[in-house]
């Protein structure tokens, strides 16, 4: 072999060795980055841990805070608001949902409206009640989106928009579904924000949540604001009952099942309400209701405990919200925030472990771009190549060409976040049952307790729902759980508000005379 050929061979071999070294280094580098991503996921999972012992501490802490909130206003992070609802409909005024507080021989009959305002959409409903025998004969509803600018605008602008939509809906009444001649239309108003209730049909807004910042409504009576708006649009309608969505769900749930003792909303936001013994409410200074019971609106989204499995991602999320330091429980378990926690973890992995390449995808940096329905869709993906995960990454975050192992990692991340939220939700329910003394079986007594659940998160996120129910069984034990039921109260808050409007109708007295 000539010198030239030998030289060429040496150069060639050197080039091959160099290329091989580059490949090895690249693989080592990629392997190192992937190991970092896996380590980050493992660390996050450990910090999100919710063993039974920790959940029982959370449940106990909730019970303690419930007692404190009932003792005095400001005594707890839980507001434990008195709803002024001590009699709820069951189809007959002789058989109230809570023990009889007014002995009247009448059925809830007729047509009533409900307005359900609790997030970026609101619903208007028309419900035809047929009394004890026929129950809910017919219902119609319409959902309306609130333009983003109205969520941060003036009170008049927001309520005028709502009243106009309500007036348009009223105009669609059919001949077979309308109020009796000479009667004013009556409305149950479900208002799913913290209010200081002053009567069954009045309450002042304490603060906005869920992205609303209509400052001139704070401190005002929301029924008065709606009534003025209805007058401005020429709609003759009386607000007969003002309720929180959980109180409405409790009403709707107990209307169908007398064993319902509490209601929980798990949707964009979260809250709980339950029936309390009136003598167990030290801050109640009025006359004790004849029923000796009162529905309490917990506002449990603001619950806080040192036992919460908080992470750096939760703390960063909280710091960037409109209400830092508040609604911590809600930020860990509700639909508004679960997807955002997943996004923040993915963003940190993209920065520190380059899971999407050398640059962080620009869309991934956008807060709240990854919504919980997207997270749920990915979490439930069972296709062999995890096509749903790939499609969501591409359509929402503009991330293409992801590997199968990366998609699997993303599903694991969704599972960690959903599991933590579901198990904490179960701990909250266990805390309420403990406060009611329904977390034990006394002398073989079979005391059935039903919790009515509503909200898109509970209804549509199957893995979340299943995990929550299994965790409640784990916390209570088989014997106690045998007496507990969790039931979906579909559209409970809307129907419940209409039912409450019926049971507090101004025409009950007229019918009695």
Residues carrying an active site annotation: 123, 192, 245
Distance of CA 481 to the CA centre of its chain: 23
Nearest to 109, CA basis, from 88, 134, 126: 134
pLDDT at 446: 74
Q: For residue 454, what are the β-bridge partners?
A: 265
Rounded to whole angstroms, the Cα distance separating 197 from 188 reads: 14
Nearest to 504, CA basis, from 270, 251, 261: 251
Confidence of residue 99 (pLDDT cuts 50, 70, 90): very low
pLDDT at 427: 98
Span of 72-86, 164-178, 231-245, 400-414 with lowest mean pLDDT:
164-178
Q: What is the mean pLDDT of residues 253-257?
A: 86
Rounded to whole angstroms, the Cα distance separating 196 from 35 reads: 52
Confidence of residue 275 (pLDDT cuts 50, 70, 90): very high
Phi, psi of 136 (to 5 degrees): -85, 110
Rounded to whole angstroms, the Cα distance separating 396 from 265 reads: 27
Q: What is the mean pLDDT of residues 67-84?
A: 94
Rounded to whole angstroms, the Cα distance separating 267 from 459 reads: 8
Cβ atoms 386, 408 nearer than 8 A: yes
| Statement: residue 483 has pLDDT above 60 | yes
Rounded to whole angstroms, the Cα distance separating 108 from 113 reads: 13
Helices (H) and strands (E) in the chain, counts: 17, 13
Cβ atoms 379, 411 nearer than 8 A: yes
pLDDT at 130: 65
pLDDT at 492: 73
**Count of beta carbons in the 10 Å neighbourhood of residue 385:** 10
pLDDT at 375: 98
Q: What is the mean pLDDT of residues 388-415?
A: 97
| Statement: residue 72 has pLDDT above 80 | yes
- pLDDT digit string, tens, across residues 331-364: 999 999 999 999 999 999 999 999 999 999 999 9
Q: Provide the phi-psi class of 401: left if phi over 0, else alpha when psi is between -120 and 50, else beta.
A: left
Tokens, residue 71: 């003792």
| Statement: residue 328 has pLDDT above 90 | yes
Confidence of residue 137 (pLDDT cuts 50, 70, 90): low
% of residues, the chain, pLDDT over 70: 86
| Statement: residue 187 has pLDDT above 90 | yes
Strands 484-488 and 449-454: parallel
Write out 101-133 in H/E/C secondary structure.
Answer: CCCCCCECEEEEEEEEECCCEEEEEEEEEEHHH
pTM: 0.84
- Side-chain-side CA neighbours of residue 237 (13 Å): 32
């Amino acid at each position: 072999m000539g010198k030239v050929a030998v030289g060429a061979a040496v150069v060639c071999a050197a080039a091959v060795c160099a290329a091989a070294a580059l490949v090895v280094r690249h693989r080592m580098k990629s392997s190192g980055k992937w190991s970092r991503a896996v380590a980050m996921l493992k660390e996050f999972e450990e910090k999100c841990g919710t063993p039974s012992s920790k959940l029982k501490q959370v449940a106990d802490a909730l019970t303690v805070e419930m007692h404190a909130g009932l003792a005095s206003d400001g005594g707890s992070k839980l507001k434990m608001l008195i709803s002024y609802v001590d009699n709820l409909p069951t189809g007959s005024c002789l058989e109230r949902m809570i023990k009889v507080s007014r002995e009247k021989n009448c059925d809830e009959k007729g047509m009533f409206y409900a307005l359900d305002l609790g997030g970026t959409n609101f619903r208007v409903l028309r419900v035809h009640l047929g009394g004890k025998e026929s129950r809910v004969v017919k219902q119609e509803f319409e959902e309306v989106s609130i333009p983003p600018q109205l969520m941060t605008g003036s009170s008049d602008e927001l309520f005028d928009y709502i009243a106009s939509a309500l007036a348009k809906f009223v105009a669609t009444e059919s001949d077979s579904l309308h109020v009796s001649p000479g009667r004013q239309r009556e409305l149950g108003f479900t208002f799913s924000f913290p209010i200081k209730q002053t009567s069954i049909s009045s309450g002042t807004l304490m603060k906005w949540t869920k992205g609303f910042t209509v400052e001139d409504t704070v401190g005002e009576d929301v029924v008065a604001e709606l009534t003025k708006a209805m007058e401005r649009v020429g709609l003759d309608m009386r607000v007969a009952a003002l309720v929180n969505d959980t109180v409405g769900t409790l009403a709707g749930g107990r209307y169908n099942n007398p064993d319902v003792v509490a209601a929980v909303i798990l949707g964009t936001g979260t809250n709980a309400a339950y029936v309390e013994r009136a003598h167990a409410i030290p801050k109640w200074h009025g006359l004790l209701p004849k029923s000796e019971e009162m529905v309490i609106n917990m506002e449990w989204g603001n619950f806080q405990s040192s036992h919460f499995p908080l992470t750096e991602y939760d703390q960063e999320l909280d710091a960037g919200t409109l209400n830092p330091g508040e609604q911590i429980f809600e930020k860990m378990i509700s639909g508004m925030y679960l997807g955002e926690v997943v996004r923040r973890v993915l963003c940190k992995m993209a920065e520190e472990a380059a899971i999407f390449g050398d640059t962080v995808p620009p869309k991934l940096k956008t807060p709240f771009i990854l919504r919980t329905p997207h997270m749920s869709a990915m979490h439930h993906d069972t296709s062999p190549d995890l096509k749903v995960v790939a499609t969501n990454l591409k359509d929402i975050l503009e991330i293409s060409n992801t590997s199968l192992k990366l998609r699997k990692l993303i599903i694991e991340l969704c599972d960690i976040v959903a599991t933590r939220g579901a198990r904490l939700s179960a701990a909250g329910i266990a805390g309420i049952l403990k406060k009611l003394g329904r977390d034990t079986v006394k002398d073989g007594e079979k005391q059935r307790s039903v919790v009515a659940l509503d909200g898109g998160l509970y209804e549509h996120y199957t893995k979340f729902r299943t995990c929550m129910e299994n965790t409640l069984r784990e916390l209570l034990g088989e014997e106690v759980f045998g007496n507990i039921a969790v039931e979906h109260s579909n559209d409970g808050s809307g129907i419940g508000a209409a039912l409450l409007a019926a049971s507090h109708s101004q025409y009950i007295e007229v019918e009695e005379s």
